[in-house]
A and B are shown apart, each in its own frame.
Chain A
Amino acid sequence: MKTSRRQFIKISSLGVGGVALASSAIGPVSSSSFLDELIEGNPSTNLKQTATYCEVCFWKCAAWAYTNEDGKIIKLKGNKTDTHCHGRLCPRGTGGVGMYNDEDRLKTPLIRTSVNGKQTFRKATWEEALDLIASKMKDVKSKYGAESFALLKHGSPGSHLEHLFKAYGSDTIAEPAYAQCRGPRETGFELTLGPWIGSPEPTDIRDTKCLVLIGSHIGENMHNSQVQEMSDAIDNGATIITVDPRLSTAASKSQHWLAIKPATDIALLLSWMHVIIEEKLYDEAYIKKYGYGFKELKEHVKDLTPEWAYGITTIKPEQIRETARLMAAAAPSVIVHPGRHVVWYGDDSQRERAIAMLNGLLGSWGKRGGFYFKEKVSLPKFPHPAYPKPKWGWEEIGKKYPYAEMGITSELIKSSIPGEDNEHPIKAWIIAGTNLINTVPQREMILKAMDAVEFIAVVDTMPMEITGYADVVLPECTYLERYDGIRNAPKRVPSLALRQPVAKPKYNSNPAWWISKQLGERLGLHDYFQYNDFEDVIKWQLEQVGTSLEEMKRLGVKKFERKTPLYMEDGEDFEFATNSGKIEFFSNELAANGFDPMPVYKQHPEPPQGFYRLIYGRSPMHTFSRTINNPNLNALKDTNKLWVNPKVARILGLKKDQTVWLENQDGIDSVFSIKVRVTERIRFDSVYMYHGFGQNNKKLTRAYGKGISDTHMISKVAVDPLMGGTGLRGNFVKILTEDPHKKSII
């Protein structure tokens, strides 16, 4: 193994974390069977309810947490008045008790040290750890400028640290959820229809007559109210059309499953547009009033017939025509879903633009059964002085990509590697709430960057793989043990949801707001943290909008009246938030910047002989690394499997549950092995697996070594020239039946 300044600390000695030796066979409740007998197997009496909202994924469903007399969290149930969940939490939310009870949690701050020449962690006090981080922050500021300290973040902890960083003078902030996930769709929709899609997506699935999913696997991505609404749509007899090389759960519930050849979606979308335009299935008056560049679009797709698309996508022309007609017949109550994780092949912004254009053609924007207009509560921010203006930040780092609207994590990582042409050198990182190494591809580059930076601090609840590379590890308490910002997510009905501590922080963990405040105090930024407890911030904010902390504690969720219309009226003089004020079928802006003004199908590399395209997705019982070690959810699924088509299995001689390894086109071998699932659900040129497995930290006792990390196998990315998104589905793998690591010993 090559020597690196920053060794990955794998050992679990020194009692670090003190893995509880108590048997994990005893579940999250009392082990007294005698008591069980007395209460007839269920103590649902005398449970206290506390309002909170979930953090297991970004949907943030409001919930009630039930605790018993000892203060132990027994179960979580959805808040019935909440529009994110309608009283029903998803399996991850229900399994949130496991996050609280997980004995593998980070328990104490850790500082990297060297013992007998070997790098390891030692336990530290909060004072020590925070002093160290603050001193580094001061150091970097004086030596290089605050801009050289980067924050790579996700979720609620990220927002607290973002406030600290901005006060400190750094806007070098990025979240993998942008350029490694949903970024291209924001760009595509913005250029065509106006606003970001954002989270949660404003898709009116409940009332739609036709739902078109391009690779989107609703049902396997357990985005709560979206899955609930799809179920409502099925009850209402809506048509579902799914375009996916794999039979996803949504595809199995669709009337039309278009088993498309991977990387050819743009051809299909353009061909659909061809059918709708040529057969005059669009609303002429609508297009005339709201469309810009329709003539150019018509010319552009004139020759892109279903027969042409058939040759590229392998979807029969009759099916392309039929589905286009179904969509048009349902218009405007039709949704061509923008998807969520859309960084696939490098031309993703253009593909999303095609989706937006198709929606524009069908007239679904702002219509019932299409896309509604979401609204949030206007919640004032807790007062603080203006943030200082940094000399450069994420925008400058990503300036090569003119349409990037948030930090591009991969670019920030690149900027951490010293080089002559590195204009914006980053010298230190804080990583909060993301297992970076299993999220961002091109592991070699990340390892190189981590080696180069002078300091890394990680804030997390679990000993994720990324903690092994930190200089300081700060244990955050889970969402069930802390206050966080009020949830003000935009939806049909604006609402606020409260998060408050349900139980006291376990072990020696603390919330991210406290960490930020402590660091802020040490950096002399007291003015930005003029409160003692985050509860004061919430109290103040709630009073500003006419409610109170007491009321929110009682309700959990408070709904507010809308101030803007939910839908667009027919014939209304509606102005789209684009340059021209209309739906931009042709984009002058793109043309001016040297990009294709209308999406063009470009062929992408195909797997060479003996290789298969690696595609990945979500499992409904997990939120990737975050839940992988959760005892309740790990019991549902503790490993991923490699989905292999039976034809391929026959050629390679693979059997069900056979152990195999993967090697990608750049010769990178998987660290662990995976079992084969021979299934007809996957295409013969691809293999599929759930993302989030293959965890490489022994301290995750339940998750370590189970399955393969697809991120680890992704070394080739296709970068989107518009916004810098890293296309991740252009990696090809070879299936090895023998352990490649054994070979290298010889």
Chain B
Amino acid sequence: MQEEIFVSGRHIPNIDPYLQIWHWQISLYLFLGGLAAGVLFFAALFYLLKKEDEMPATVKYAPIIAPIALIVGLAALFFDLTHKLYVWQLYTTVRIESPMSWGAWVLLITTPISILWVFSYYRETYPRLEAKLQTFKRLKFLESFEKFLIKNRKVMAIALIPLSLVLGVYTGILLSAFNARPLWNNAILGPLFLTSGLSTGAAGILFFSKNHFERKLVSKIDLALIFIELALIVHMFMGMYAGSQVQLEAMHILLGGSYTVMFFVFVIILGLLVPFVLELTEIIGFKVPVIVPAMLVLIGGLIFRIVMVNAGQLTRYLY
């Protein structure tokens, strides 16, 4: 029999018997970051494809999600820090080896751009609100500012494509770079999080869409993304199955352990398979309230990140 124990009573709070360093705030941010990335990517993409009129929700209305998501997400992250007063240190240096540093800088650049993007469409999308607030009357410089932004939309869009992709993928790379957490330590996680982010972004757009053509296109895109996501999840399991002892144990948490039910019910079935089927039936011809699969995809995305963050912290190399 093999026995491994601590002799000296190690019970470090939040470290033993398993890590509890990252809580729901991190999962929430990962979800919101992915959502914002997806929304911004599609907005920029369809703008550059000159489809802004056929896809008004994608380009003009839905992007309001991005700044809200990013600001809420950043707030969640900030409150998860334990040494908050020093948060400004993040912006004194760029550390190429640290995905978290990339994230900090990307967020710093993307959030203002997303706000500017939304603002550039503000008068077009919220005429009644503007009529009430009269901000353009009160702040004269806004007129010229808006003109400036509208002229430079293409620049913003070109910038947003790589930024949103980095935003979507870096959360996955962040986790996969931690080889000390066997559940996270596989390269698939980056693309998986990106796909999931784009998928939730598409789902978010569906909420805002009133245009039938747009809905159909975005649904089709979402369908494809869900399919890719399922394939990547299968890949992830295959990779872990062929990995070392610690990875097998990590896989066990999702396939027969404490997070199995949550993962399969909320993430796989309700978050991926059901929306897939629903959107497929919609495309075939049956009418399905589009809200339903969209909601399910969003919930599935959030739960997926909650499961990954918590289950990942259950796994460790030693002890």
What residues of chain B lie closer than 8 Å to A680, measured between beta carbons? Answer: 1, 3
The answer to whether B8 and A636 touch across the interface, beta carbons within 8 angstroms, is: yes
- B residues in contact with A636, CB < 8 Å: 8-9
Q: Which of A503-531 contact B (CB under 8 A)?
A: none
Contact, CB under 8 Å: A638 / B3: no
A468 CB-CB contact with B under 8 Å? no
Produce 1/0 per residue, A616-652, CB < 8 A to B.
0000010000000000000111100000001000000
Instruction: Name the one of A638, A646, A677, A678 contacting B9, with C-beta atoms under 8 angstroms.
Output: A638
Q: Is A236 an interface residue (CB 8 A)?
A: no
In the complex, the answer to whether A679 meets B9 with C-beta atoms within 8 Å is no
CA distance A740 to B8 in the complex (A): 31
A637 B1 Cβ-Cβ under 8 A: no
Q: How far is the CA of A636 from the CA of B9 in the complex (A)?
A: 5
- Bound: A679/B1 CA distance, A: 8
B153 to chain A, nearest CB (A): 48
State which residues 662-715 of A face B: CB under 8 Å.
677-680
In the complex, chain A residues whose CB is within 8 Å of the CB of B8: 621, 636-637
Expressed in whole angstroms, the minimum distance between the Cβ of B268 and any Cβ of chain A is 32
How many angstroms between the C-alpha atoms of A615 and B96 in the bound complex?
A: 59
Q: Which of B1-32 contact A (CB under 8 A)?
A: 1, 3, 5, 8-9
Contacts of A621 in B (CB 8 A): 8
B21 to chain A, nearest CB (A): 18
In the assembled complex, the Cα of A678 lies from the Cα of B5 at a distance in Å of 11
Which B residues are CB-close (under 8 A) to A635? 9
Closest-CB distance, B111 to chain A (whole angstroms): 31
CB distance from B32 to the nearest CB of A (A): 32
The CA of A594 and the CA of B1, in the complex, are separated in Å by: 50
Instruction: Say how far B319's CB is from chain A's closest CB, in angstroms.
Output: 14
CA distance A39 to B1 in the complex (A): 48
Q: Give A635 to B9 CA distance when docked, in angstroms.
A: 6
- Which chain B residues border A638 with CB–CB below 8 Å? 9
What per-residue 1/0 map shows which CB atoms of B218-259 lie under 8 Å from chain A? 000000000000000000000000000000000000000000
The smallest C-beta distance from B226 to any residue of chain A, in angstroms, reads: 43
Complex Cα–Cα for A61 and B275 (A): 73
- Asked if A637 and B3 sit within 8 Å, CB to CB, the answer is no
Q: Which of B264-292 contact A (CB under 8 A)?
A: none
Residue of B nearest to A634 (CB): B9
Q: How far is the CB of B84 from chain A (nearest CB, A)?
A: 14
- How far apart are the CA atoms of A679 and B7 in the complex, in Å? 14
Q: How far is the CA of A637 from the CA of B8 in the complex (A)?
A: 6
B315 to chain A, nearest CB (A): 20
Closest to B11 in A: A635
Least CB distance, B23 to chain A, in whole angstroms: 20
In angstroms, how far is the closest chain A Cβ from the Cβ of B8? 5
B3 CB contacts on chain A under 8 angstroms: 678-680
Among A636, A638, A677, which residue has the most Cβ atoms of chain B within 10 A?
A: A636
Q: In the complex, A471 Cα to B9 Cα: how many Å?
A: 37
Least CB separation from B5: chain A residue: A677
Residues of chain A within 8 A (CB-CB) of B5 are 677
- Complexed CA–CA distance, A232 and B5 (Å): 27
Shortest Cβ gap from A380 to chain B (Å): 45
Roughly how many angstroms separate A520 CA and B5 CA in the complex, as a whole number?
A: 52
Chain A residue nearest to B3 (CB atoms) is A679
Q: Which residues of A contact B1 (CB under 8 A)?
A: 646, 678-680
Collect the chain B residues with CB atoms within 8 Å of residue A646's CB. Answer: 1
Nearest B residue to A641 via CB reads B5
Q: How far is the CB of B54 from chain A (nearest CB, A)?
A: 58
Chain B residues proximal to chain A, CB less than 8 Å:
1, 3, 5, 8-9
Known interface pairs A635-B9, A680-B1, A680-B3; 12 further A-B residue pairs with C-beta atoms within 8 A, sorted by A's residue number: A621-B8, A636-B8, A636-B9, A637-B8, A637-B9, A638-B9, A646-B1, A677-B5, A678-B1, A678-B3, A679-B1, A679-B3
- List 15 A–B pairs whose Cβ atoms lie within 8 Å, in order of A's numbering: A621-B8, A635-B9, A636-B8, A636-B9, A637-B8, A637-B9, A638-B9, A646-B1, A677-B5, A678-B1, A678-B3, A679-B1, A679-B3, A680-B1, A680-B3
What residues of chain A have their CB less than 8 Å away from a CB belonging to chain B?
621, 635-638, 646, 677-680
